Amino acid sequence: MRQILKFSILALSTAILLAGCGEVEDTRPGQPVKHRQTAFKEIVKAFEPMGVMLRDGRYDADKFLRQAENLMSKREAPWSYFGADTNYPPTKATPEVWKQPEAFEKNRQAFFTATDALLLAAQSKDKAAVEKTYDAVHEACKTCHKQFKER
């Protein structure tokens, strides 16, 4: 009986500890941090299949164009959720977003410029141009993440 009680206490303690390890939830009105994180995940879901297609050597111009159009439809979503009062957990944005708004905006514009070029390349169906502009979008993301996203 004593051993069962010890096991039950251990199991309950473990469950409580694991529950405390979960990700912080955004409980603020309108959940801006959650919305921007979800929007960025949607961008990744739209962008990554294009990279897989290029890396695997299975370029399909028509499919790539549809994917580029999908990316374009998602690219605006996260930015409006970077309000002045949205630097709180569970954000993964660094404080630099709010300390250096001009630099953050410059990175956002670089992303838009790169995705515009990607769409044009996809419309041309020129694989070399597609690869080059895909890499430019990837680089725009990496550049922004280095300064404005926690690792």
Give the pLDDT confidence of 18-66 residue by residue, as tens digits.
444 567 899 888 999 999 999 999 999 999 999 999 999 999 999 999 9
User: What is the reported pTM?
Assistant: 0.83
Point out the least confidently predicted range of 15-19, 111-115, 128-132: 15-19
- How far apart are the C-alpha atoms of 145 and 14, rounded to whole Å? 35
Question: Half-sphere exposure (CA, 13 Å, Cβ side) for 28?
Answer: 16
pLDDT band for position 148 (50/70/90)? very high
- For 31-77+93-151, CATH gives 1.20.120.10
**Three-point CA angle 117, 123, 124, nearest 5°:** 90
Question: For the chain, what percent of residues have pLDDT higher than 70?
Answer: 85
Q: Which two tokens stand for residue 146?
A: 């280095």
pLDDT band for position 14 (50/70/90)? very low
pLDDT score of 1: 57
pLDDT score of 17: 42
- How far apart are the C-alpha atoms of 16 and 108, rounded to whole Å? 41
Residue type, position 17, single letter: L
For the chain, what is the largest distance between any 2 Cα atoms, rounded to a whole number of angstroms?
Answer: 74
Distance of CA 151 to the CA centre of its chain: 13
- How far apart are the C-alpha atoms of 106 and 112, rounded to whole Å? 10
Q: Is the pLDDT of residue 132 over 70?
A: yes
Mean pLDDT of the chain: 89
**Cβ neighbours of residue 44 under 8 Å, at least 6 residues apart?**
none
Please check whether residue 47 is in contact with residue 137, taking contact to mean a CB–CB distance below 8 angstroms: yes
pLDDT band for position 151 (50/70/90)? confident
Nearest to 144 by CA among 119, 112, 121: 112
